[in-house]
């Protein structure tokens, strides 16, 4: 046997080069107990006291079980959540970063990657309009930083907003005034979780009315700000969402920017999901006005297929990063080191930081701007195909919501067709119909998982469980979409039949 | 040419299997401008407008430049900071996790990894004494979670502490009372950065006196608590440090636990660096009392050679994670999904989360408890060898501080030998001697970087730049230690000669 590292790497590479796709299963599902038992004849799943060093052959056998029982997120029938289908170039770029194992905090330990972050953040800053196209391509102070995920970026952005409002916040702590921030009712829960951690409190995150697709109603924001102010609270920030989690709705950023400018509020744009629309000339208008915001978070591990995680937090005024986050640790950021002025670590909260930029840099060099645009256009084309199939289904599928890459819909039992299921209609359903429709998606999904045919997400809309198909995997074809819808039809019918038998 | 993914993977694997070591350079250093120019004849470093898709051959050429100009942190002469020498099994374990690209938030999307986290966290919880050895090996509610780095774990731990003090903090926000926390003056800056982000404020982090090695003086903690209380502040947490960043000092955790119990304060232990001493029967006594703490952060990417990042935040009462962090997002944590009670995502702040456990699980299965112990013992043996060399150097090297794996020392020009340089003596140095000694380390380091012979960190101790050698890379030998000390001698002499010429 070769070295264990080679054996494991070989299996990982084979997976990347030829990932499971139809007719292979998306998942070979097992209960927790069954899953643990699968490892009994190799290394055992758990660690007892005095855990022994296992034989290399047993570890390699365990690796094969890990692969076999993991969810194949690169499979074109994994349409389950807002990441899918990692770009293979990103995967091996991630590998190279891991092999070179360093931290992004200092130029000293990461000379290539410090400059690479600057090059990529500059490009992202130009794409979103924070800096002009004529700006430096590799500025010493880039317009943002990389973070471990969108929630963390939201946390940092809200701290930047609070810091502008109260410049001594870092030193002295919160002043005691009741700060409030605003986000649409369809916005991501990172807003409330961040408010909790910042000591602002979930109660001080004001959920602003959103329309039937999930976009914030600007006039409702105006009202909410006035109400909060009248109530003695101090508004300091608004989160606009570009691509909500469930329906991919886009807030009108220009309308939000007008309001924020009038009230001197920090405008943060949560483009974790939809930010990548900026890559496509056909869709970048969805983010019109983002250049007027103060901060913008963009998860390249969602639509762009970077591996987990690749999050850019962009800021219009990068000087604020240093003012807000600097810790000035003298054992790390020694000013008497070579090129210490390039050190990025004192502009963020983290100390050691994994290299997330290399995979994006390689992928972008490989695909170019045109390739990045194609990925977006393809995703929307798949969603459009899904919408067309639903519209032509003679009531078998009922559209519920969604836009851009997201399609939210129900499968309707024959006895209930045709039925209207937009969010307003859902509220008016009689309890028995609601119950029938509500219990179907979990049953359909359980059968999908049991048979491994597909993975499609479901979630409540106005209290009713509905399916969500959302697209970003570039290997998904209309054949996959059709097969998944057929699968939902079949399992839906099975669920109805089984309910009738009981 | 084969597929670009194969070409990149092949180079990454070759690097992992046969990383640079003597006589190869640790780093081929270049200025930012020179570094950027290196890429001019392949893909170019930056992204202009309309960035094209580059040819595969050019990208592969660029990959070779990335490797060539990165710091070789696996090189046995990289003794620069508190990570080094990634375990090759961890690297390929990281690769497999990236290939299977998923998120740790739900059992649905990460069935194997959810259970794997439980198995590893249970083992870590038993190693640190939070749970008895007789506990479940794969509990549904494990005693902790994985985080992207030690600073983030500190942030979470302090929020847990604040949450116990004020159970409605998440919902209502900070009450307005002036909370204060305590950490030794040698503790990590994650404490102040976390306090800033939480809205507590850097001013409310009270730095407690530490002894000459860097361990907190318990009686000074008692005094600091009394003083703060008398001043109207509300103490809520103490951070004990197990392995300070610069000297690897260990606070007396039993003494701190006594004080915390008497004052009902949360005791958080920052074992980011030194927590791994628990793996060795010879050194685990350094953390005696950790089992009495409330939370404990442990970076396995430091001493254990996991790739960036692999941080476990352990908690004595895991129920508190859910109470403190739950967001109850109904699109993700649907209670009607299969095995949803295993979902870990609502017990932490992050939403999507990279898989950090697989590499640790594989490495632990490969090395076993005994192999993990050996890694620690080897590191301390290398530090002991360094200390012996310094003691026998006839005053050429002057010991300054450090314990366990860390050795802090100065190189002394012949004209100044012998000299005593413990922290107290440093304070008494005459300005001219101070200046001579202070300017040497950056000059020595710059020559190391220029020649690529070694990378050794330096930092001010009591205001004087001193070298720090700290050990965790299992491939470092006494030959490497001797070569590095010889290198410091030579470059130190060069620096003195060059100063005399000017």
pLDDT band at residue B334 under the 50/70/90 scheme: confident
pLDDT for position A329: 81
Pairing between strand A179-184 and B205-208?
unpaired
Q: Which residue has the tokens 């038998």?
A: A501
Of A122, A150, A368, the CB nearest to B351: A150
Q: Which residue has the tokens 């009450």?
A: B175
- What tens digit of pLDDT does each residue of A433-451 get? 999 999 999 999 999 999 9
Is there a contact between A17 and B29 if contact means CB atoms under 8 Å apart?
no
Range A370-501 classified under CATH 3.90.1150.170: yes
DSSP code per residue over B70-119: S--TTSTTEESSS-----HHHHHHHHHHHHT---TT-TTT-HHHHHHHHH
How far apart CA B171 and CA B167 sit, in angstroms, is: 9
Q: How confident is the model at residue A97 (pLDDT cuts 50, 70, 90)?
A: very high
The pLDDT assigned to A422 comes to 92
pLDDT at residue number A31: 95
At B260, the pLDDT band (50, 70, 90 cuts) reads: very high
Spell out the domain ranges in chain A. 101-354, 370-501
Using CB atoms and an 8 Å cut-off, which of residues 198-217 of chain A contact chain B?
A: 198-204
**Cβ–Cβ gap B47/A100 under 8 Å:** no
Q: Is the pLDDT at A328 greater than 90, yes or no? A: no
Span A260-311, pLDDT tens digits: 999 999 999 999 999 999 999 999 999 999 999 999 999 999 999 999 999 9
pLDDT confidence band for B286 (50 / 70 / 90): very high
* Cα separation, A135 vs A306, whole angstroms: 26
Q: Is B273 on the interface with A (CB under 8 A)?
A: no
pLDDT digits (tens, 9 = 90+) for B81-95: 999 999 999 999 999
In this prediction, residue B319 has a pLDDT band, given cuts at 50, 70 and 90, of very high
Alpha carbon of B204: minimum distance to chain A alpha carbons (Å):
7
Confirm or reject contact between A405 and chain B (CB < 8 A): no
A351: nearest CA in chain B?
A: B151
Report whether pLDDT(A330) > 90. no
Q: How far is CA B147 from CA A66, A101, A482, B344, in A?
A: 22, 18, 39, 12
Residues of chain B with Cβ-Cβ distance to A465 below 8 Å are: 334, 336
- Per-residue pLDDT of A10-66, as tens digits, reads 999 999 999 999 999 999 989 999 999 999 999 999 999 999 999 999 999 999 999
Using a CB-CB cut-off of 8 Å, the residues of chain A touching B351 are 149-151, 188-190
Share of chain A above pLDDT 90, in %: 94
Residue A466: in which H helix or E strand, if any? strand A464-470
A334 pLDDT higher than 90: no
Compute the distance between CA of residue B111 and CA of residue B381 in angstroms, rounded to an integer.
Answer: 40
pLDDT at A143 over 80: yes
**Per-residue confidence (pLDDT) for residue A348, from 0 to 100:** 95
Task: Please give the DSSP secondary-structure letter assigned to residue A283.
Answer: T
Whether domain B101-167+175-354 has CATH 3.40.640.10: the reply is yes
CB atoms under 10 Å from CB of B328, counted, come to 10
Question: Do B53 and A368 count as a contact with CB atoms less than 8 A apart?
Answer: yes
Residues of B in contact with A375 (CB under 8 A): none
Chain A CB within 8 Å of residue B371 CB: yes
The 10 Å Cβ neighbour count of residue B461 is 24
pLDDT value at residue B335: 83
SS3 A310: coil
Selecting from B112, B120, B449 the residue whose C-beta is nearest the C-beta of A66 gives: B112
Question: Does B279 contact A at CB distance below 8 Å?
Answer: no
Distance CA B39, CA A179 (A): 48
- Give me the pLDDT at residue B281, please: 98
Distance from CA of B51 to the nearest CA of A (A): 5
Q: Is A467 on the interface with B (CB under 8 A)?
A: no
Mean pLDDT calculated for residue range B342-369: 96
User: Residues, chain A, total?
Assistant: 502
What pLDDT does B417 receive? 97
Contact A96 B63 (CB under 8 A): yes
User: Given the structure tokens 């300091």, which residue do they identify?
Assistant: A236
Chain A nearest-CA distance from B414, in A, is: 24
The pair of structure tokens assigned to A495 is: 């669920």
Band (B499; pLDDT cuts 50, 70, 90):
confident
Partner-chain contact A245 B331, CB within 8 Å? yes
Q: How far is residue A501 from each of residues A279, A433, B494, measured CA to CA in Å?
A: 51, 18, 90
Q: Which residues in chain A touch residue B86, judged by CB atoms under 8 angstroms apart?
A: 98, 101
pLDDT reported for residue A201: 97
Query: Terminus-to-terminus CA distance in chain A, angstroms?
Result: 56
pLDDT, chain A, mean = 96
Which tens digits make up the pLDDT trace of B448-471?
A: 999 999 999 999 999 999 999 999
Task: State whether residue B362 sits within 8 Å of chain A by CB.
Answer: yes
* B197 and chain A in contact, CB less than 8 A: yes
Report the distance separating Cα A8 and Cα B91, nearest Å: 10
Model pLDDT, residue A338: 84
- Of all residues in chain B, the one with the smallest CA distance to A7 is B92
The answer for B 243-262 residues in CB contact with A (under 8 A) is: 245-246
Q: How high is the pLDDT of residue B500?
A: 86
Could you report the predicted ipTM of this complex, rounded to two decimals? 0.97
Question: Is pLDDT at B337 greater than 90 in this prediction?
Answer: no
Does B199 contact A102 at a Cβ distance shorter than 8 Å? Answer: no
Contact by Cβ (8 Å): A322, A347 = yes
pLDDT at B94: 98
Among partner residues B54, B112, B307, which is closest to A98 by beta-carbon distance?
A: B307
Give how far Cα A421 sits from Cα of A405, A417, B452, Å: 19, 11, 67
User: Using one digit for the tens of pLDDT, what is the confidence trace for A165-220?
Assistant: 999 999 999 999 999 999 999 999 999 999 999 999 999 999 999 999 999 999 99
For the stretch A207-253, pLDDT in tens is 999 999 999 999 999 999 999 999 999 999 999 999 999 999 999 99
Cross-chain Cβ contact A95/B446 below 8 Å: no
Tell me which chain B residues have a C-beta less than 8 angstroms from the C-beta of A101.
73-74, 83, 86, 91, 307-308
pLDDT confidence of residue B502 = 75
Residue B36 has pLDDT above 90, yes or no: yes
CATH of domain A101-354: 3.40.640.10
The reported pLDDT for the residue numbered A499 is: 84
pLDDT of residue A385: 98
A5·B88 Cβ contact <8 A: yes
């Amino acid at each position: 046997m070769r070295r264990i590292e080679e054996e494991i790497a070989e299996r990982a590479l084979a997976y990347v080069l030829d990932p499971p796709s139809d007719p292979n299963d998306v998942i070979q599902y097992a209960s927790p107990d069954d899953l643990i038992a699968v490892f009994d004849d190799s290394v055992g799943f758990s660690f007892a006291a005095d855990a022994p060093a296992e034989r290399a052959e047993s570890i390699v056998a365990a690796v094969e079980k890990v692969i076999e029982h993991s969810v194949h997120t690169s499979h074109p029938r994994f349409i389950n959540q807002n990441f899918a289908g990692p770009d293979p170039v990103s995967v091996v770029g991630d590998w190279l970063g891991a092999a070179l194992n360093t931290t992004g905090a200092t130029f000293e330990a990461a000379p290539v990657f410090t400059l690479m972050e600057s090059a990529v953040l500059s490009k992202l800053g130009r794409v979103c309009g924070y800096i002009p196209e004529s700006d430096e391509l590799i500025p010493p102070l880039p317009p943002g930083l990389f973070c471990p995920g969108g929630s963390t970026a939201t946390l940092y952005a809200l701290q930047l907003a609070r810091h502008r409002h109260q410049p001594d916040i870092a030193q002295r702590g919160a002043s005691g005034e009741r700060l409030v921030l605003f986000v649409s009712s369809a916005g991501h829960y990172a807003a409330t979780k961040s408010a909790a951690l910042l000591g602002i409190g979930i109660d001080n995150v004001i959920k602003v009315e959103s329309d039937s697709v999930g976009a914030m109603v600007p006039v409702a924001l105006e009202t909410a700000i006035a109400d909060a102010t009248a109530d003695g609270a101090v508004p300091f920030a608004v989160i606009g969402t570009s691509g909500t989690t469930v329906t991919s709705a886009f807030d009108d950023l220009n309308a939000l920017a007008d309001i924020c400018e009038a009230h001197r509020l920090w405008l943060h744009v949560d483009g974790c999901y939809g930010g990548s629309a900026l890559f496509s000339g056909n869709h970048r208008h969805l983010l019109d006005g983002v250049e007027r915001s103060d901060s913008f978070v963009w998860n390249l591990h969602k639509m762009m297929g970077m591996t987990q995680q690749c999050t850019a937090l962009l800021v219009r005024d990068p000087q604020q990063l240093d003012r807000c986050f600097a810790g000035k640790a003298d054992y790390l950021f020694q000013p008497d080191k070579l090129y210490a002025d390039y050190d990025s670590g004192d502009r963020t909260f983290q100390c050691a930081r994994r290299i997330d930029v290399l995979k994006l840099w390689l992928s972008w060099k490989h695909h170019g701007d045109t390739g990045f645009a194609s990925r977006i256009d393809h995703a929307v084309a798949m969603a459009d195909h899904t919408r067309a199939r639903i519209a032509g289904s003679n009531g078998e599928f009922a559209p519920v919501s969604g836009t851009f890459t997201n399609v939210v819909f129900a499968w309707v039992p024959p006895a209930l067709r045709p039925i209207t299921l937009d969010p307003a209609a859902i509220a008016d359903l009689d309890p028995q119909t609601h119950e029938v429709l509500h219990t179907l998606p979990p049953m359909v999904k359980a059968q999908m998982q049991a048979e491994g045919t597909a993975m499609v997400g479901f979630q409540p809309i106005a209290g009713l469980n509905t399916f969500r198909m959302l697209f970003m995997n570039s290997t998904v074809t209309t054949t996959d979409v059709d097969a998944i819808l057929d699968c939902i039809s079949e399992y839906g019918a099975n669920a109805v039949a089984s309910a009738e038998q009981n």
